[in-house]
Amino acid sequence: MDVYLDSTVVLRQMLGSGNSWDGWGKWEKAYASMLLRTECNQAVNRLHAEGKIDDVRRARLGSWIETVCSCVTMVPVTESILRRAGEPLPTDTGVLRSIHLATMLELQAAHGVNCAVATDDDKLLRAAECLGFENALNVTSVTPEVMPEAPAEENPEGKSKGKKA
């Protein structure tokens, strides 16, 4: 199965928030918009600014984001994607979601890539399903691919307390 990764799933895996996705890394090929790096880094920067993570954790998470991005086919935000994102969509999505949807549509139309969408964003998922994309989080038969585990958080005694991705 090919998947299109949204930052919400990457952040969940990285931060260990909520239930981890059993299908993480078990895909044939993964794609994401170049927006992924920015969205993930901004989320981590916000946690750091709010004092929820320290400098060391911020650096570790930044490295993990770069590792994930290097393991995923990053799709540039091209003029054609931006034009498509400005066209009517089946549901109200907002700008970033429409760019993600246009990226998936571009992969499908221009490259013959049919991805299932991996997202925790209900609005993005609803719009993607209206466009015929499958929810990757509900798919159980996947092919293993090597993906990095999220960095474990250290407690004061130096023992790992973070969840594995």
From first to last of its 165 residues, the chain has per-residue pLDDT tens of: 899 999 999 999 988 877 778 888 889 999 999 999 999 999 999 999 999 999 999 999 999 999 999 999 999 999 999 999 999 998 889 999 999 999 999 999 999 999 999 999 999 999 999 999 999 988 654 444 445 555 555 443 443 334 333
Q: Which of 1, 22, 20 is nearest to 11 (CA)?
A: 20
Residue 33 near residue 72 (C-beta atoms within 8 A): no
Q: What is the pTM of this model?
A: 0.81
Cα atoms in the Cβ-side hemisphere of radius 13 Å centred on 132 = 7
Asked whether the beta carbons of 5 and 71 are under 8 A apart, the reply is no
The structural architecture, per CATH, of the domain 2-138 is 3-Layer(aba) Sandwich (3.40)
How many Å apart are CA 115 and CA 88, to the nearest integer?
Answer: 21
Q: Are 151 and 40 in contact (CB under 8 A)?
A: no
Of 137, 150, 151, the residue nearest 26 (C-alpha): 137
How many angstroms separate the CA atoms of 5 and 55, rounded? 26
